[in-house]
Amino acid sequence: MHIQENVPLAPLTTLGVGGLAKYLVRATTSDEVRKAVDFSRARNLPLFVMGGGSNLVISDAGWPGIVLHMDVRGIDERSENGKALFEVGAGETWDSFVAHSVTRNCAGLECLSGIPGSVGGTPVQNVGAYGQEVSETIESVQVLDLRDGQLRELCNPACGFSYRTSIFNTTERGRYIILRVTYVLEPGGEPQIEYADLKKFFATTQKTPTLQITREAVRQIRASKAMLIVPGDDDCRSAGSFFKNPILTKEEHDDLVTIAQAKSLKVPSYPALAAQRKVSAAWLVENAGFQKGYTKGPVGISHKHALAIVNRGGASAEDVVALKSEIQRRVEDVFGIRLHPEPVFVGFKEEANSQGA
Ligand SMILES: Cc1cc2nc3c(=O)[nH]c(=O)nc-3n(C[C@H](O)[C@H](O)[C@H](O)COP(=O)(O)OP(=O)(O)OC[C@H]3O[C@@H](n4cnc5c(N)ncnc54)[C@H](O)[C@@H]3O)c2cc1C
């Protein structure tokens, strides 16, 4: 187990804000994970588990306890009933694993290409993009249960997956450390080309694209929106989409349509959103007056994506939170809808306790 003291956390995140971790522990095996937990308990310090740092806003005060940097690796493949099962260490880089699954000609993750972060981060918010969510392919999640120190294998229904949620970021937040995730994929399966952007990309293609070509297309589309981390592109110094698409009741949706009509606006309706009565948070943000490229000191909104709050260099967590609150207030004033952030806030007063394990 590798322990460092007073480590800056900002460089370990994609947004690049936040203070120091009192201790940073890198764990490469389940045993080291246990030792890190023992270390935090012996000192009565709060524990926070960090994967790739791509969905985090870390406070300027940092983390007063132990940050466990998950680095458990390994990909094991086996066949069962014509399916391919991949058991993957939580510390593997997500996109490298997706690339591996595509190389093995297994379908199910191709639309999730290019998402930053670790394998262990994917069940937490049920990562999704371009028509796929990991909940569709996760067979089980191996965890260390901090309540009793037992290793458990949680089957898919036990993870309580829903839109950007699971038990890991709701009811059981802070209880489990994810060690491995098993995905069940379709050998030789066809890519899922259902999302509007992907359909448009392949509109003039006659043949069904391969998984590899679909992966390249997804990465290309993501790069055009700064949703792929590309060195040198300042618009990707973000935590991805900062707000979730709100899911409305019928009454709330009717109210929104009325407000929009009074402003000569039409609420966009895409099949993927309409099925769950989801409204595009990006549309709400833009039509509340925040254009792409909006800048406020060292923070702003990406030039390529209205939902990404970007650190333009030297931003603090306080700058990020101030812009987040300004956007929330304006969207609520204009449309009567409260936007909820997607990233995890770490080390802020109200979150500090609930993040501790
Ligand atoms: C440019 C960009 C594009 C993005 N695009 C998408 C997208 O299309 N779809 C999408 O869903 N997300 C997207 N994201 C968000 C982010 O990449 C995902 O949520 C990712 O899965 C987070 O994984 P991570 O390893 O970076 O987790 P972290 O950011 O390190 O942590 C996030 C949360 O997961 C917990 N966690 C992480 N690993 C473990 C573990 N092993 N055990 C227990 N808890 C753990 C942490 O404690 C924290 O609460 C994007 C982010 C960026 C920067």
Q: What is the pLDDT of residues 217-264, one digit of tens each?
A: 999 999 999 999 999 999 999 999 999 999 888 889 889 999 999 999
| Token duo for residue 337 | 């809808």
Ligand 1, pocket-test mutation among 55, 159, 309, 310, most atoms within 8 A of CB: 55
CA 265 / ligand 1 centre spacing (Å): 34
Catalytic residue among 140, 241, 280, 302: 241
Q: Which long-range contacts (CB under 8 A, 24 or more apart) does 92-99 make?
A: 92/118, 92/119, 93/52, 93/117, 93/118, 93/119, 94/52, 94/118, 94/119, 94/121, 94/122, 94/127, 98/215, 99/215
Q: What is the pLDDT of residue 278?
A: 85
Cβ–ligand 1 contact at 240 (below 6 Å): yes
Give the ligand 1 atom nearest the CA of 70: 41
Q: Please say if 251 is a catalytic residue.
A: no
Q: Which pLDDT tens digit goes with each residue over 36-51?
A: 999 999 999 999 999 9
Q: What's the CA gap between 323 and 32, in Å, rounded?
A: 39
pLDDT at 122 over 50: yes
pLDDT of residue 275: 66
- Both tokens of residue 338? 């409260």
Give the integer Cα–Cα distance in Å for 51 and 17.
16
pLDDT at 335: 96
- Over 70: is that where the pLDDT of 355 sits? no
Q: What pLDDT, on the 0 to 100 scale, is given for residue 353? A: 38
Closest-CA residue, ligand 1 atom 2, reads: 240
Backbone φ and ψ for 114, nearest 5 degrees, come out as 85, 0
Whole-number percent of the chain with pLDDT over 90 = 90
Percent of the chain with pLDDT over 70: 96
Residue range 146-169: mean pLDDT, rounded:
97
Residue that the structure tokens 């260099």 belong to? 313
pLDDT band of residue 300 (cuts 50, 70, 90) is very high
Annotation marks residue 332 as catalytic = no
Q: Ligand 1 centroid vs 122 CA: distance in angstroms?
A: 6
* pLDDT of 274 strictly over 90: no
Of 34, 73, 152, 164, the active-site residue reads 164
Q: Which helix (H) or strand (E) holds 262?
A: helix 250-262
Closest CA to 312 of 287, 228, 323, 286: 323
**269 part of the active site:** no
Residue 354 has pLDDT above 80, yes or no: no
Does pLDDT of 357 surpass 80? no
Does the pLDDT of residue 350 top 80, yes or no? Answer: no
* Predicted confidence band of residue 277 (pLDDT cuts 50, 70, 90): confident
3-state secondary structure of 188: coil
**Which atom of ligand 1 is closest in space to residue 227's alpha carbon?**
1
pLDDT tops 80 at residue 276: no
The tens digit of pLDDT for each residue in 50-103 reads: 999 999 999 999 999 999 999 999 999 999 999 999 999 999 999 999 999 999
Q: Distance from the CA of 321 to the center of ligand 1, in angstroms? A: 19
Of the pLDDT bands very low, low, confident and very high (cuts 50, 70, 90), residue 32 is very high
